[in-house]
Amino acid sequence: MSETSGRVPTLVPSARAPDGAETARLGKLARRAFGAAPRADGARTGEPACRGGHGGRVTLVGAGPGDPGLLTLNAVRALQAADVILFDDLVSDGVLDLARREAKRMMVGKRGDRPSCAQADINALMLTLARAGRHVVRLKSGDPMIFGRAGEEIEELRAAGIPVAVVPGITTGLALAAELGVSLSRRGEAQAVHFVTGRDRHGDVPSDLDWARLADPRSTTIIYMGGKTASRIAERLIAEGLPADTPTLVARDVSRPSQRIWRGTLDELRGPFPLPSDGPVIIGIGTVMRQESAGAELEREQVSVRKAR
């Protein structure tokens, strides 16, 4: 088994400070990229559309795994137009730094095994703020639609007649694949990719997963929130027939400077958890995970070439 930590820093700094003309040009491009979307009549406005007593709305925004560079343009636009931002505990400071300075920021928790805001309270807060005419951005780590309870929030808002939109984000499982240069559906090795939760609402191993399908060696399984249940999940998969030597990977703080990765086998995962599990942890299981080393070497080689230019 092995472990690595840290990420490759940005190695392509600007060769010179921009002059006045270039600064103006870059500013214009930035406004075009991150400003409000054009209205139907071609006009633009910097004011949120929800100003007034009955114009409130909610935008669910995916914050990605942590690196603010992985945000979409629409996510930044929403943050720049927000009156209030309700953000989860795992949203990074770098993402919040891109929000409009005047926007009020409110952390609403949502983290396993720690004190958190009840979902009903979050729903009620969104409704109250939107009814007061605010543009509320509900900022969620990863993608709102992947284990983010977005469905419950959307249903509640729609039932109350509150306009709601969703801006997708990069879910941690896909960010991990990109970090490692691993294709989760590599031809000839994985015919299916499963995203599953490693815990139920009581903190136990989910009893209603299709374990026989997850134990198919021709598939890749990504497990979210499985730090506390990893050993039992490994035992169940092996009992269902997945080879004990199946390549397995555990990652913490994907895309962040504190990123750490452990590599081993499914059998080794039955032992003590290899990384601190008090942070955002994700587990990857499948034969494609053995391709990770080649992917990392290719990334380092490309970075070295860019740096030498």
**Burial (CB count <10 Å: 0-12, 13-18, 19+), residue 94:** middle
* CB-CB contact of 264 with 248 (8 Å): yes
Q: Using CA atoms, how far apart are residues 43 and 56, in angstroms rounded to an integer?
A: 21
Q: Which amino acid is at 134?
A: R
What H or E segment, with its residue span, contains residue 127?
A: helix 119-131
Find the largest Cα–Cα distance for the chain: 66
The residues assigned a catalytic role are 88, 110
Instruction: Give me the half-sphere count of Cα atoms (radius 13 Å) on the Cβ side of residue 260.
Output: 13
The vertex-24 CA angle with 19 and 25, nearest 5°, equals 100
Tokens of 112: 């396993």
Strand 219-224: give its sheet, edge to edge: 2-5, 260-265, 247-252, 281-285, 219-224, 192-197
